Amino acid sequence: MFNKEELQNCQRCELYRTRENVLCGEGNVSSDLLFIAQAPGEKEDKEGRMFIGPAGKIFRKLLKQVKIDISRIYMTNLIKCNLPQNRRPKQREIKACSFFLDQEIIEVDPKILIPLGYYATKYLFQKYDLSDFSKTEFHDMIGKSFPVDNKKIFVLSHPAALLYNEDFQEKAFLHYQKIAKF
């Protein structure tokens, strides 16, 4: 795996000034599934663990509902430090942090990359030279698969979306069922 000490001491952008913890990905490094969220939330930043806040509870519940054992997946973030006030990531932060994500993708070598939300999806589409898309077009991509190299990108909305709109719950469940079939 990439040098975790380098990540822990990272000062590639200004986020090092406000973080409590740098979140390294966690899970099974031999997994076929690599979930990529946007950035650690407040609770994740405090505890130094992935998906333990409110959105994480939804994520874990969805995995459990479709019988995906969380110990068999690998999960990480596009941005490794908490974004103050859960703001959008800046392009320079994505550029600075994507080095670590790229190293994780190489190390895990999953069959399916699963970006959770717009920014993680946007990054992967740029990385693999797929067509550009707008935020409006992103919603039409959710639940769809896109082949790249010897992998697939399977786009999902971020579980936090369910915190604000329970109407997405049924669709989210169906999308996670597709992952279980992979």
pLDDT in tens, 94-124: 999 999 999 999 999 999 999 999 999 999 9
Q: Is the pTM of this model over 0.85?
A: yes
Count of residues in the chain: 182
**Count of CB atoms within 10 A of residue 157's CB?**
22
In this structure, the number of other CB atoms found within 10 A of the CB of residue 23 comes to 25
Q: What pLDDT digit, counting tens, does each position of 122-162 carry?
A: 999 999 999 999 999 999 999 999 999 999 999 999 998 88
* Domain boundaries 4-9+22-181, CATH class: alpha beta
Question: What's the CA angle centered on 138, arms 134 and 140, to 5 degrees?
Answer: 125
pLDDT score recorded for residue 168 = 82
- Residue 1, pLDDT > 60, answer no
**Rounded-to-integer distance, Cα 113 and Cα 3, Å:** 22
Contacts of 167-171 with CB under 8 Å at 24 or more apart are 171/142, 171/143
Measured distance CA(65)–CA(73) in Å, rounded:
15
Could you give the CA distance from residue 82 to residue 42 in angstroms, rounded to a whole number? 7
Buried b (16+ CB within 10 A) or exposed e, 118-140: bbbbbbbbeeeeeeebeeeebee
Rounded CA separation 33/72 (Å): 8
